[in-house]
Copies of this chain bind each other. A is one copy, B any other.
């Protein structure tokens, strides 16, 4: 079942971004810890289980990075970054309930330890806390961007609910789903950075475009990794999407490019939900035959290139270089 995905260069990292933002991220982490506090002890337990589980915290880093790129010197970016991470965490808690997932980042999903009820409600709590932090920052424009994102993300999730079992989903339809459910939060996380600095609209638009396209690329790579990544590092099993009947781009491409018989296979295993482990091997074989994983990565690289160009109007700086490397990392990561 070994599939070679043409990642390149193999050694791309986000180390530079992490280093440049280390001091600010420390403050974000402190804020996050403070805001999950509650006398209702189940709240910090559930929240911290997920928050401390070693996610990359890419989204809050993007908020900090964009604030820095556009010369922000205040404090507001810390709370906005924490709010972005809370919105993301709330989404993950609800997603795991909706998808009935057992694992998240290599650990049992919160719903397996505390139940679906707690996952739904702690998600709601974190969303409330996120909005409280935004209000404290006091930027109506940041509130507008992030509340819009909250609605769009939920809309995207519902959209996916409808599309979940339709193997005839087009690539465009699939892109509309991931724009909403993944890329919108990347875009909003980036867009609120320059908002605090009162910079020209063109800069906010550039930051938003960077985030949107990076988010799409990030999700497409995730889709490919589910059929060919390294399970231990990814924190989810190879074939999770397959077993859940999720229609992702590798499936969309394989279905379109397949024969009549192959399409019947996809319909049977994904729409009717009677897939076996040997079906997973067949699926990976068909993806290999039709170069579906390679082309999913190529699509991701296309969006990565757009993200990189979006930053062109900013003068050269170490932060800009770090963001360019982050794009490289997101499209070349193997976990």
Q: A: which residues have CB within 8 A of B? A: 38, 40-43, 94, 97-98, 116-118, 120-122, 124-125, 127-129, 131-132, 134-135, 138, 140, 143-144, 147-155, 157-159, 161-162
CB distance from A160 to the nearest CB of B (A): 9
**A-side binding surface: helix, strand, loop or mixed?**
helix
Indicate which residue in B38, B134, B147 contacts A128 across the interface (CB closer than 8 Å).
Answer: B147
Q: Compute how far the CA of A157 lies from the CA of B157 in the bound complex, rounded to whole angstroms.
A: 24
Known contacts A43-B155, A98-B117; A150 and B162 CB within 8 A of each other: no
Q: Given contacts A97-B120, A124-B157, A135-B147, could you give 16 more A-B pairs where the C-beta distance is less than 8 Å?
A: A40-B158, A43-B158, A94-B124, A98-B116, A98-B121, A118-B161, A121-B157, A125-B151, A127-B150, A127-B154, A128-B149, A128-B151, A132-B144, A132-B147, A132-B148, A132-B151
Q: Compute how far the CA of A38 lies from the CA of B147 in the bound complex, rounded to whole angstroms.
A: 16
Question: Which of A98, A143, A154 counts the most chain B CB atoms within 10 A?
Answer: A154
Indicate which residue in B125, B129, B143, B151 contacts A129 across the interface (CB closer than 8 Å).
Answer: B151
Contact B140 A120 (CB under 8 A): no
Known contacts A97-B120, A120-B94, A140-B138; A125 and B161 CB within 8 A of each other: no
11 residue pairs A–B, Cβ–Cβ below 8 Å: A40-B158, A42-B161, A43-B155, A94-B124, A97-B117, A97-B120, A116-B116, A118-B158, A128-B149, A128-B150, A135-B147
CB distance from A268 to the nearest CB of B (A): 23
Contact A131 B143 (CB under 8 A): yes
A42: B residues at CB distance < 8 A: 158, 161-162
